[in-house]
Chains A and B, each alone.
Chain A
């Protein structure tokens, strides 16, 4: 009697699990169906279409603050959209947009020939400009007054100049931070500052702009380079040939390092993708770009 009841219970248990799995499977399917119908209705209306659906963005940590802020504004404006933004780095952005893993990739360096060959159907958009600033700790006696040429910076980051004394500061080792191989910021900095030289082997590798800034903010003898948008009161930017790292100086060409910030889609962008990219390129998005300390495209 008891064993029969137990068997009955087991049967009910399995039935229950079956029903739950069924519901779990059916839910999203039905939901997707509704959404698709809705989307079809809206897009077939022609003219101005309302963007709906989900969008994934990934790539450079330099563009991350811009995309994050723009995504929030965009979602507020278009309540039927959801945009998820992730980092991962420029290389990752190009790779995952090219392979279709995400809808939009972002990169803070130019796309390489090898990448274009691998992903020939990438469509490219510029959404802003940026520069790379060199930063030191605010408690460093040289803070605010350190003025170096691109060549001297190259010597510091390649380990030919190793003591702050040689730059007019305290007698202490210069503690260099750098980004990891493949980072867009690193690539641009290498191109403008280091040339063919190698980074000093004792440079500590930090995997994002934020960690570069935090490291220098915590280390009196540290020096690092970050995207212009990441320079704040916690650190002090180094002058290059007497020119301060500011948006105006980059715009008028006085500050020597500039780069373009890119977004990619695989093939021509669909309705949602193009609305989001146009939003960033438009006045609202460009205001965000400017407010965050980057440089608008026009």
Chain B
């Protein structure tokens, strides 16, 4: 019987090490293929013309940051008040309806949201605001929709986790409900909200399909100056060009290098996140 137990333990260890191994393999492959193309010029160059072997990614990196930051900001503007309403004010049945409809959004495949963006949002922006419609603004809206569900449920959870005694103490001191929320509950829940933001940013940077369909992907991206400009993101560039890039060509190495940049961005973000959350706890 002992034998069986140690066997099971080994089997469990094997499956645990398998997932670690996969991460190492992917990282190794990504770096091996991407590093030949990484250079200062790659990160600061303004021109992306794979046909002539110009691989400047600065406009793409800035475009990505623009799209991601704006989307998270919009999601925060809608998500945090929603979460406050749900945890502090909403009657049980309203909360149920809102929560379950928000959770439905999680189940919608990103390509469907992208298609909605392409067919409804893009023509709407083109006809009412102007520009080509395919724009950073469209990317913001599409991404914000995709980040919202997690942001709302994480924020609501952390608001609910604030001990009841805080609320009661604040109200007993004569603070209004509004003061209690803004001065006591939200600050007490801020580490959870920050974690939700970081997760949202991570999701937004990695999201490919929905964004690709609405941001236009100009032939040679430039540093965007308006929210109606088209732009490219790191992921959309990889997704569009990868299948056509010749195996072993500089173009393909450059696309892997974009993958490395993306990887570093997300890793840095995770470090920042752990740091912020930990500092808050102390």
Contact = CB atoms under 8 A, between A and B. Distances in A.
Interface of A: 7, 10-11, 14, 88-92, 95, 99, 114-115, 118, 175, 178, 180-183, 198-207, 214, 218-219
Contacts of B248: 118
A200 B49 CA distance: 11
A205 B240 contact: yes
Given A181-B50, A203-B219, A205-B217, A218 B246 contact: no
Given A200-B219, A205-B219, A181 B247 contact: no
Nearest to B1: A7
B54 to A, nearest CB: 10
A190 to B, nearest CB: 8
Interface in B78-117: none
Contacts of B222: 201
B15 to A, nearest CB: 13
Contact of A204 (B8, B50, B51, B230): B230
17 contacts: A10-B4, A91-B245, A95-B246, A99-B247, A180-B240, A181-B50, A181-B245, A182-B241, A198-B220, A200-B219, A201-B218, A202-B219, A204-B132, A204-B134, A204-B230, A205-B219, A214-B118
B218 A175 contact: no
B217 A218 contact: no
Nearest to B52: A198
Interface residues on B, range: 20 to 34
A91 B4 contact: no
Interface of B: 1, 4, 8, 49-51, 118-119, 122-123, 126, 132-134, 216-222, 230, 239-241, 243-248, 251
Contacts of B246: 91, 95, 114-115, 182
A7 B217 CA distance: 59
A181 B53 CA distance: 11
A219 B218 contact: no
A206 B122 CA distance: 15
Contacts of A198: 49, 219-220
A90 B246 CA distance: 10
Contacts of A181: 50-51, 241, 244-245, 251
A120 B4 CA distance: 54
A182 B245 contact: yes
Nearest to B213: A211
Contacts of B133: 219
A204 B4 contact: no
A182 B49 contact: no
B49 A202 contact: no
A115 B134 CA distance: 35
A197 B51 CA distance: 12
Contacts of A7: 1, 4
A178 B244 contact: no
A202 B218 contact: yes
B235 to A, nearest CB: 13
Nearest first, the 8 A-B pairs at minimum CB distance are A182-B244, A201-B220, A203-B219, A205-B217, A91-B244, A92-B243, A89-B244, A204-B216
A88 B242 CA distance: 9
B217 A175 contact: no
A99 B240 CA distance: 22
A131 B222 CA distance: 32
Contacts of B4: 7, 10-11
B239 to A, nearest CB: 8
A130 to B, nearest CB: 18
A140 to B, nearest CB: 14
A205 B218 contact: yes
B55 to A, nearest CB: 11
Nearest to B47: A201
A218 B246 CA distance: 32
Nearest to A157: B219
- Residue among B221, B239, B240 with max Cβ neighbours from chain A (10 Å): B240
A201 B243 contact: no
Given A115-B246, A182-B241, A182-B244, A204 B126 contact: no
Given A95-B246, A200-B219, A207 B240 contact: yes
Contact of B244 (A10, A183, A203): A183
A204 B218 contact: yes
Nearest to A115: B246
Nearest to B59: A201
Given A178-B219, A204-B217, 8 more contacts: A10-B4, A92-B244, A95-B247, A180-B241, A182-B241, A198-B220, A205-B217, A207-B240
B243 A88 contact: yes
Contacts of A202: 218-219, 230
Contacts of A10: 4, 8
A175 B244 contact: no
B244 A201 contact: no
A214 B123 CA distance: 12
Nearest to A221: B132
Contacts of B123: 218
A115 B246 CA distance: 8
- Residue among B50, B123, B221, B243 with max Cβ neighbours from chain A (10 Å): B243
